[in-house]
C-alpha cells in the first residue's frame, strides 16, 4: 500500500516537464526528489498536491484515484521554500488556520483546535513562541511553524518543496537532522524536494534522481552513491569525473592502459563513458604501476584534502580527495609530480539513443596484466 505514480507526463506547450515518470512510495516512507533546477521536481509535487493536472498517467493511493480528488480532499500538507505564513497572525493562529477554515460540520471545537495547536507547537519545539508574529521569528523557526501548520490538518502525505532552501548552511544542517528525527517519530509519508545532494542523501530512505523531466535512478542513498546507474547520476551524486576511454575488439583503453573486456556486447553499445570519483584516486609509491600526475593545487577543507591533478591525455585536471590521515602518509604539495593509482572506475555503455544499456564498476589492478571486464549487466534506468 502507498502511492503509485505511473507514466506521468506533463507538457507546457512544446516543453516536456515530466516525461513518463513512474514511482511507488511506501506508507511512512521519506523520499527525496533530487535534481538540478528545471528537472521537474516541483511539477511532480504540484500534481500530487492537486495544484496541477498531468496530461497523461495516473496516481493511485491505496488503490484510490488521487487525481480524481480535488486538492482539499487529498489530505496533503504542503511546505514551500518561502514561508507562506500569514504575517498578521500569531504563530498559534497560523497553525490553527487549516482547522479554522474547515466547513463547520468538519471543524473541531475551539477547545480542540487550541489543544491540537499546543500539541503541534510542542512537537516542533516552539510552544514558547506561540504569541509571536512571523516577523519576530528566525527563518528556521518560521519553517517549523510552516511545518506545524501543514501537519495541523493531519495529512496523509507531506510535501516539502525545498523547505530549507532560503536558510543559511548551519541552520539547514541542524533542521535536516531535526526533520529526520521528527519524521521518524511521526511516520507520515513524506516527499521532500531538493537540489542539494547532501540533504537528500542524509535525510531520505530513498532518493529519486531527476533530470530533464525523467527519473534517472531510484535507490537508497548508499545504492545511488556507490552504484550510480547513469553518467548523470554519477556526476550529480558521486562527483564522477569523465575520462576518455575507448572500447575496441574486446579491449578497454583508459589513460594509456589497456584491459580485456570479455563479454562486452560492442554491437549494442555505440558509446562508452568512463567516470572516476575523487576519493578513488590515490597517490602510490609503486612508480612503475602508477599514472603520472602533476599537482596543481591542494586545499584543506574540514578534515579532507582536495587536490587538482593534471594528467597526460586529459584536457581537464582530475579532482582527488583524501582524508587528512591519508594525506599525511603522502603529503603531496603544489608542483609535485606524483604517481597515482585509480582504485575504481565506472564504465557506462550507451546505445544509439543515449540510453545506458550496460554498466560496470571496475577496479583496475596494480600492474599491467590484462583483466577481464565483465560480465556486463543490464540496468533499469
Ligand X SMILES: Nc1ncnc2c1ncn2[C@@H]1O[C@H](COP(=O)(O)OP(=O)(O)OP(=O)(O)O)[C@@H](O)[C@H]1O
- The nearest distance, CB 274 to ligand X, in angstroms, is 28
If binding is defined by CB under 6 A, does position 242 make contact with ligand X?
no
The CA-atom distances, in angstroms, between 337 and each of 292, 313, 342 are: 7, 15, 16
Helix (H, G, I), strand (E, B) or coil at 268: coil
Helix (H, G, I), strand (E, B) or coil at 289: coil
If binding is defined by CB under 6 A, does position 214 make contact with ligand X?
no
Site for ligand X in 71-130 (CB under 6 A): none
Q: Quick one: which of 8, 21, 23, 39 contacts ligand X (CB under 6 A)?
A: 39
If binding is defined by CB under 6 A, does position 240 make contact with ligand X?
no
CA–CA gap between residue 378 and residue 8 (Å, rounded): 24
- The nearest distance, CB 40 to ligand X, in angstroms, is 4
If binding is defined by CB under 6 A, does position 40 make contact with ligand X?
yes
Q: Nearest Cα to 264, choosing from 342, 347, 343, 345? A: 347
- The nearest distance, CB 3 to ligand X, in angstroms, is 18
- The nearest distance, CB 29 to ligand X, in angstroms, is 20
Q: Quick one: which of 3, 8, 34, 35 contacts ligand X (CB under 6 A)?
A: 35
Which of 214, 360 has the CB closer to ligand X?
214
Contacts of 351 (CB under 8 A, 6+ apart): 268, 269, 270, 357
Q: Helices marked H in the chain — which ranges?
A: 41-49, 91-100, 110-123, 139-152, 169-186, 197-203, 221-226, 231-238, 324-329
If binding is defined by CB under 6 A, does position 37 make contact with ligand X?
yes
Residue 270 · residue 352 · CB < 8 Å: yes
Q: Which residue has the cell 554498466?
A: 359
Q: Nearest Cα to 71, choosing from 155, 163, 188? A: 155
Angle at 49 between CA 151 and CA 180, to 5 degrees: 45
CA–CA gap between residue 21 and residue 27 (Å, rounded): 19
Residue 58 · residue 20 · CB < 8 Å: no
- CA 35 to chain centroid: 6
- The nearest distance, CB 37 to ligand X, in angstroms, is 3
- The nearest distance, CB 56 to ligand X, in angstroms, is 16
What track of x and - describes contact with ligand X for positions 6 through 25 (by CB under 6 A)? Answer: ------x--x-x--------
If binding is defined by CB under 6 A, does position 190 make contact with ligand X?
no
- The nearest distance, CB 17 to ligand X, in angstroms, is 3
Which of 45, 298 has the CB closer to ligand X?
45
- Give the DSSP letter of residue 377: B
- The nearest distance, CB 22 to ligand X, in angstroms, is 17
Q: Quick one: which of 74, 149, 172, 195 contacts ligand X (CB under 6 A)?
A: 195
Select the span of 37-45, 265-273, 284-292, 327-335 touching ligand X (CB under 6 A). Answer: 37-45
Select the span of 39-47, 109-117, 122-130, 288-296 touching ligand X (CB under 6 A). Answer: 39-47
If binding is defined by CB under 6 A, does position 43 make contact with ligand X?
yes
- Judged by the rule CB under 6 A, the positions of this chain that interact with ligand X are 12, 15, 17, 35, 37-43, 195
Amino acid at each position: 500500500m502507498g502511492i503509485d505514480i505511473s507514466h506521468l507526463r506533463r507538457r507546457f506547450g512544446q516543453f516536456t516537464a515530466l516525461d513518463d515518470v513512474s514511482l511507488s512510495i511506501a506508507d511512512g516512507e521519506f523520499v527525496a526528489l533530487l535534481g538540478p533546477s528545471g528537472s521537474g521536481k516541483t511539477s511532480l509535487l504540484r500534481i500530487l498536491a492537486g495544484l496541477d493536472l498531468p496530461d497523461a498517467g495516473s496516481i493511485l493511493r491505496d488503490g484510490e484515484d488521487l487525481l480524481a480528488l480535488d486538492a482539499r480532499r487529498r489530505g496533503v500538507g504542503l511546505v514551500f521554500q518561502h514561508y507562506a505564513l500569514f504575517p498578521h497572525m500569531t504563530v498559534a493562529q497560523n497553525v490553527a488556520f487549516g482547522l479554522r477554515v474547515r466547513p463547520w460540520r468538519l471543524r473541531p471545537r475551539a477547545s480542540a483546535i487550541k489543544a491540537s495547536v499546543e500539541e503541534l507547537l510542542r512537537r516542533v519545539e516552539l510552544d514558547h513562541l506561540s504569541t509571536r508574529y512571523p516577523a519576530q521569528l528566525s527563518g528556521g523557526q518560521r519553517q517549523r511553524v510552516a511545518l506545524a501548520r501543514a501537519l495541523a490538518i493531519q495529512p496523509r502525505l507531506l510535501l516539502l518543496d525545498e523547505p530549507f532552501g532560503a536558510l543559511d548552511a548551519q541552520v539547514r544542517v541542524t533542521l535536516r537532522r531535526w526533520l529526520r528525527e521528527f519524521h521518524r517519530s511521526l511516520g507520515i509519508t513524506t516527499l521532500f524536494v531538493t537540489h542539494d545532494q547532501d540533504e537528500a542523501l542524509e535525510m531520505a530512505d530513498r532518493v529519486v534522481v531527476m533530470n530533464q523531466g525523467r527519473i534517472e535512478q531510484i535507490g537508497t542513498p548508499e545504492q545511488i552513491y556507490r552504484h550510480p546507474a547513469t553518467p548523470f547520476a554519477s556526476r550529480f551524486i558521486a562527483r564522477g569525473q569523465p575520462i576518455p576511454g575507448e572500447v575496441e575488439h574486446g579491449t578497454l583503453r583508459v589513460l594509456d592502459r589497456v584491459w580485456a573486456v570479455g563479454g562486452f556486447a560492442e554491437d549494442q553499445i555505440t558509446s562508452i563513458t568512463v567516470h572516476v570519483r575523487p576519493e578513488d584516486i590515490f597517490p602510490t609509491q609503486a612508480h612503475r604501476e602508477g599514472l603520472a600526475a602533476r599537482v596543481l593545487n591542494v586545499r584543506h577543507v574540514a578534515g579532507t584534502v582536495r587536490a587538482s591533478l593534471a594528467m597526460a591525455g586529459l584536457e581537464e585536471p582530475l579532482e582527488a580527495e583524501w582524508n587528512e590521515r591519508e594525506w599525511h602518509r603522502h603529503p603531496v604539495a603544489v608542483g609535485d609530480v606524483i604517481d597515482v593509482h585509480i582504485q575504481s572506475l565506472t564504465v557506462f555503455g550507451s546505445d544509439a539513443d543515449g540510453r545506458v544499456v550496460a554498466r560496470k564498476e571496475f577496479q583496475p589492478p596494480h600492474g599491467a596484466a590484462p583483466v577481464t571486464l565483465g560480465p556486463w549487466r543490464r540496468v533499469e534506468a
